[in-house]
Amino acid sequence: MQKIYNNSQILKNSICSVITGTGSYIPSRKVHNDDFLGNEFYDLNGNKFENNNQEIIGKFEKITEISERRYVTDDLVTSDIAFSAGKSAISSSGIDPEQLDYIIVAHNFGDIQANNKRSEFVPTLAARVKHKLGIHNPGCIPYDLPFGCPGWLQGMIQADYFIKSGDAKKIMVIGAETLSRVIDPHDRDGMIYADGAGATIVESKVSNEPVGILSHCTRSYCNEEAFALWMDHSFNPTFNENLLFLKMHGRKLYEYALKVVPQVIKESMEKAGIYLKDIYKLLIHQANAKMDKAILDRLYNLFGEKQIPQDIMPMTISWLGNSSVATVPTLLDLFFNGKLDNHSSREGSILVFASVGAGMNINSMVYKSK
């Protein structure tokens, strides 16, 4: 593996993209697995499962390791929790919000009211966040980024491009979602999904050595993989409301992720010139515990390594579920603030990020703490 950052290439006073603040919003409403015991579950063909719900939920928890998840209360929408996470990140960084050059909000479904299951995209969620923050600066450009679950990470990648091109000095990137508003109550896969928001402040810093975002890699596969996640009517053929819900070909998605995600992570590592031994933590999209662990195993196999360090991959899925674009920035905020058992941040350490989701899109980023 050839390093792209060696001593001869490091320029004095080079511009780096550094995370200076994080924030998150974790909804207060806890939904436990037992709360689904009264649901009627159907398969893709509209047939009711013969297994009782105790069996269905037990198998679900064994595979995903999800025992509870968080839903927003009825008075909140996605832009509300994005604002809360963003406000917390601004406070954490200590910056003046008027100095923000961009506000990037990654999401997939816009604002959906509890009593009106229609997506609102006008104005953009980023514009709504800027409005809620009371920012007057017309040079602060807010825009939305719909990119599936890897949306927040793709926003970070775009922020890095803006900063290193000299176009921006301070950028806020938010990942927020209220998947509870697009769940089919008759689809057992709906138990995976959750709500939440996470935010980061990325700033331009001058450094004599590479710190912050070192490298990244993004790939997209839109042939037979494009509709592994899609929107459709309820699996219950007698469901009367004309609504569309989030659907997933679980097995197809699992196989796809195992095939491509480790390779994308490896490519981002090769760009930064780091090795497995250099990684302090792998912060991966919290999609499914079994899948994430299999991705980690496959990554180490790509390098011919069998021994995986204990606690290299922090997990929150057991109690937060899969909140799509919010999982990784929420995980990062908890990690940086010492709120994860057996995990703490460390100066000068290497973090590797990765995500996979609808599209199908995959990305990875290598980051060195300052």
Q: What gap in Å lies between CA 327 and CA 316, rounded to an integer?
A: 8
Residue 197 pLDDT = 98
Q: What is the DSSP string of 218-234?
A: EEE--STTTTSEEEE--
**Is this prediction's pTM over 0.85?**
yes
Distances (CA, A) of 274 to 4, 164, 265: 9, 21, 11
Q: Closest Cα to residue 348, out of 362, 368, 322, 319?
A: 368
Q: What gap in Å lies between CA 26 and CA 243, rounded to an integer?
A: 27
CATH code 3.40.47.10 for 212-368: yes
Domains 14-207 and 212-368 share a fold: yes
In the chain, where are the structural domains located? Answer: 14-207, 212-368
* The CATH number fitting domain 14-207, selected from 3.40.1190.20, 3.40.250.10, 3.40.50.2000, 3.40.47.10: 3.40.47.10
Q: What is the chain's Cα-based Rg?
A: 20
Could you tell me whether strands 212-220 and 68-71 are parallel, antiparallel, or unpaired per DSSP bridges? Answer: unpaired
- Residues with Cβ within 8 Å of 150's Cβ and at least 6 positions away in sequence, in order, are 218, 285, 325, 355, 356, 357, 361, 362, 363
Q: What gap in Å lies between CA 288 and CA 193, rounded to an integer?
A: 10
Residue 313 pLDDT = 96
Residue 113 pLDDT = 95
Q: What gap in Å lies between CA 312 and CA 295, rounded to an integer?
A: 13
pLDDT in tens, the chain (370 residues): 444 443 334 445 799 999 999 999 999 999 999 999 999 999 999 999 988 999 999 999 999 999 999 999 999 999 999 999 999 999 999 999 999 999 999 999 999 999 998 999 999 999 999 999 999 999 999 999 999 999 999 999 999 999 999 999 999 999 999 999 999 999 999 999 999 999 999 999 999 888 999 999 999 999 888 899 999 999 999 998 889 999 999 888 999 999 999 999 999 999 999 999 999 999 999 999 999 999 999 999 999 998 999 899 999 999 999 999 999 999 999 999 999 988 888 888 999 999 999 989 999 999 999 8
